[in-house]
Structure 1
Amino acid sequence: MMISLNKVNVTGCPADEYERVYKQASDYMATQPGHISQLFLRSENHPGTYFAVALWESVEHYTALAGIDELVAIFDQVISLNDPDAADGDKITVEHHKPEVVYAENTLPDHPTGAMVCVNRISVTGISPEEYERVYREGSDYMARRPGHIRHKLVRSTTEPDVYFSIAEWTDVEAYRALDELDELTAIFAQVNDKIEIENHECVVRGDK
């Protein structure tokens, strides 16, 4: 199994236009061999930012998408895939990752998708990856016991090894925000807060496959 994660900033078109194009692409990808699931998220606290998280049976299945002219044509409506050098007309910018799963609880989509998804982009600057991952597991396991938790995972970029993404699904935003009142959880993450940089996104699901 492999995971693809794209962080997208919409820069040159209305958000609903990008969502329309992504739905076209998402519907097409869902018909392809090796497709497992997709999660399309819109950040509520960073307007214009989206995350597309997809699970595939193998890297080969995912890589094969680049050779499908119909799919490339769909994405060409918002970004220059046919000619990456001709980026003047791009309506979005994409930060693309093929990360490896470091830690996951209930990764496969065998439960309903959460109504609220927290996505953190984490840059580890002053601590070893092993120590950060240890603290994440401790905090993550604690959160997994809280009401409203559905599933979570931590993935590490293979192209930027100091960059992680934490993806946690919750039944509702109230369950997620209740974490702020938990002193024990605060103490766990206090071990690393001054050694990492976090970009936090409270997301809603725009579509999943």
Structure 2
Amino acid sequence: MYEGPVQDLIDELGKLPGVGPKSAQRIAFHLLSVPSGDIGRLQGALQRIRDGIQYCIICGTVAAEEKCRICSDPRRDLTAICVVEEPKDVQAVERTREFRGRYHVLGGALDPLRGVGPDQLRIRELLKRVGSVEDGTEVSEVIIATNPNTEGEATATYLLRTLRPFPGLTVSRIASGIPMGGDLEFADEMTLGRALSGRRTL
């Protein structure tokens, strides 16, 4: 235990996700050694988050402008929407360089135990996007890329049921299963079962 502001800083850093006591201590002592300008920039970034961040009016991800850079890009495919839970998931899909459409951020997943129902998510906005025409183009495919856990699966099932009435719309779910470089003997039954049910013809 340290005294005064140093311990206060360690305690606050330790509340961040993925930051344990040792990491919090390392970060705190690193901050003590950096120039005051660096601390000022960190304070400014935290202040801007506290003052309120901006979300894209189209997809709902965090943005610097009214529209995010992806929704502002005229080269993106307007016929495809990839539905994700959180803004960080947009970046995960973008890193693959496999998807050239636009995104829709739900703002979470269905979780009745925590009071998160369809009205707490951006599902209504998704239905509005799917049912509208932009620049003479209609959405023809929705890719559901929610997390492969109980909440993510429940959300995917709900979205599939909700999107089914749209004529000519293809609704798909990202595949999940054995990771590249993984061994079958170390895979749990659910992961291996998902890999088998999601198999594709070669």
One fold, TM greater than 0.5? no
Q: TM-score, normalised by structure 2?
A: 0.28
Give the greater-gyration-radius structure (CA). Answer: 2
Structure with bigger strand share is 1
Task: Looking at secondary structure, tell me which structure has more helix per residue.
Answer: 2
Q: What TM-score does the superposition give when structure 1 sets the normalisation length?
A: 0.28
Q: Which has the higher contact order (CA 8 A, sep 6+)?
A: 1
